[in-house]
Structure 1
């Protein structure tokens, strides 16, 4: 009991004092290993410079697109104007399954990327003037990727010696791509990115390649193809309706002409007769002609509305910020060097302060 009376519990003031002592001890350890830290910084600096100058310069071009949202109002658009002038009912518009808000999915799709293969590109110095699929082979890679890929290339070369070579060129088949084609599709999928602001609908397309002019040309081509891709989808249904109405228009016009000829021939053949049966047949033929004309006129009106609908569906989005040739590279060599120095410094501190003592305890135990 007396021993318990002599026991005093630690006061709260003693805890910060212990923590302060630990921090001071930690600071003394850091000061003591300053020579090691200097060496780590030097090694990180050298490694960072080597890596920074080994990575090829890359340029990024961003294009901002503002999609034109469709309106469901029946009193707007060329089709509604045509319908009001022609006296026909306005065509109902429904939201498209494919629109500008799906730009990211469209740009990363395999058929879209395959269409970019034949895009003509030209480097800033004019030495490279070829297609995009050929330019992907012209891009340089870091030296370590060449070393890591050397075994695979050697195996491929050995297999090529024992396999029969075929010079026949085959067309691109999205359903079944070759290994080389799939590799280039994946490269383009990483090169071309599309981000969409769901609130405003603004789409930002970015392309990253190793030549500034090639990057700008590819970005401009992506925008044009994306716009045409969406336009073709949006007007596909309208074109199909227009083609059907065009065929129907030709048929109804021919029926009207035939009814008109039958009526004219009958009147010419029986103009001197006043029989009631002749008048009855004449009225019947005239009614058939008038009915054929009414149907022909209605189809003609619907055809004009369908043609106006195609024109109305064509605008998809406006280019707010067009593609321009970048003046500076997007990958900063300074940041690579700073990052490597930071990693070397943090790694050395972590090992000396925590890793080495734990490893020593593990060995002793």
Structure 2
């Protein structure tokens, strides 16, 4: 066999790289034609894909233990006779759960009615309508989805139940609503740094202004969700304490008036029954006052707890309208098409030569 054609050595079947390179060099015209076709195909694909814009928001949530937080007001509360030790506890909703919260169905469904405006400010619509009816796609997607649309039309023709997309029922979503929900979930990413606990939220949309609007809305709703979760128990305790305090205040005032009326109506009377009734009314007034005073202290404690349980978020990187598209990466597509074509063509020539 000729040295130029000797690609494989006989005993160990090892590849002779020099002979392989010389063989491929002889077939360079074929490889160049293939790479040229790959470049043209890559350009068609790169310019057919719609542009996507990504907005990134970074925020640092407050993750301090509640024990140390309540200790900040410990001295002030102690002066008022309030013990804040019972208010301490651990935060059950750590930043590691934020991705699951953002990707949950109830959270994303709250974004559907949000109003968004395109970058030309020509149209204002709900986020659901934008994602359902105003998404651009590559030209070949229409060919691929045509059979699926035909099947959907036949199913709707023979189906006895009509799906209404105007009604949003989280328990029973329509196919169109489920598709929009799935698309929105894929376009939203949340990453939590395990060391710094910095939360990075990224939203990808085909319109830069809508991308920034949705990212800002998600960041705001996430803060509201966490704040509501962290403070709901303390707020319920505060409402209950306020209710019981009103009842105890009325009972104390009633006991106070009864004692005063008894004293006014029994002046200059000295008897055992008088002293017994006087002691009973005084004890009842003292007891209701102690309950009222305790609840008043607890009310101040609950107010402090609501304030301390409210988390504080530091916005490291706020939402801003992206100026450049994040995808498609045209250069990367061209390089990938060219490299894979060259690799495939070289492999084909080598296999053809061996056999």
Fold agreement, TM-score > 0.5: yes
CA contact (8 A) 1:78 1:308 kept: no
The 10-residue stretch of structure 1 (338-347 or 49-58) with the greater mean CA deviation from structure 2: 338-347
Q: Tell me the alpha carbon deviations over residues 143-172 of structure 1, each in whole angstroms, 9 at most, x when there is no partner.
A: 121111111212223444455686977642
> Does 2:137 match 1:141?
yes
* Residue from 330, 333, 347 that aligns with 1:333: 330
Structure 1 residue runs of 4+, over 3 Å off? 18-21, 72-82, 158-171
* Residue from 14, 22, 29 that aligns with 2:16: 22
Gaps of 5+ in 2: 1-8
> Does 2:35 match 1:44?
no
CA contact (8 A) 1:72 1:94 kept: yes
* Mapping of residues 1-365 of structure 1, within 5 Å: 22-73=16-67, 76=70, 80=74, 83-90=77-84, 91-137=86-132, 138-163=134-159, 171-331=167-327, 332-354=329-351, 356-357=352-353, 360=355
SS of the residue 1:264 aligns to: helix
CA–CA distance in structure 2, aligned partners of residues 228 and 77 of structure 1? 25
CA–CA distance in structure 2, aligned partners of residues 323 and 21 of structure 1? 55
CA contact (8 A) 2:42 2:337 kept: yes
CA–CA distance in structure 2, aligned partners of residues 268 and 74 of structure 1? 53
CA contact (8 A) 1:61 1:323 kept: yes
The TM-score normalised by the length of structure 1 is 0.87
SS of the residue 2:83 aligns to: coil
- The structure having more radius of gyration, on CA atoms, is 1
CA–CA distance in structure 2, aligned partners of residues 197 and 325 of structure 1? 24
CA-CA distance at 1:200 after TM superposition: 1.0
CA contact (8 A) 1:79 1:309 kept: no
User: Given the superposition, is the C-alpha separation of residues 275 and 175 from structure 1 closer, same or farther in structure 2, using an over 3 Å criterion?
Assistant: same
User: Given the superposition, is the C-alpha separation of residues 143 and 301 from structure 1 closer, same or farther in structure 2, using an over 3 Å criterion?
Assistant: same
The TM-score normalised by the length of structure 2 is 0.89
User: Given the superposition, is the C-alpha separation of residues 315 and 97 from structure 1 closer, same or farther in structure 2, using an over 3 Å criterion?
Assistant: closer
The 10-residue stretch of structure 1 (336-345 or 113-122) with the greater mean CA deviation from structure 2: 336-345
CA contact (8 A) 1:100 1:317 kept: no
CA contact (8 A) 1:83 1:89 kept: yes
CA–CA distance in structure 1, aligned partners of residues 45 and 166 of structure 2? 40
SS of the residue 1:301 aligns to: helix
CA contact (8 A) 2:65 2:89 kept: no
The 10-residue stretch of structure 1 (73-82 or 50-59) with the greater mean CA deviation from structure 2: 73-82
Number of residue pairs aligned between Structure 1 and Structure 2: 342
Q: Tell me the alpha carbon deviations over residues 309-344 of structure 1, each in whole angstroms, 9 at most, x when there is no partner.
A: 112222242111001000100012222122211111
SS of the residue 1:64 aligns to: strand
CA contact (8 A) 1:67 1:100 kept: yes
Q: Tell me the alpha carbon deviations over residues 67-123 of structure 1, each in whole angstroms, 9 at most, x when there is no partner.
A: 111234457467646532421110332223223331111111111111111111111
Report the RMSD for the aligned CA atoms in angstroms: 2.3
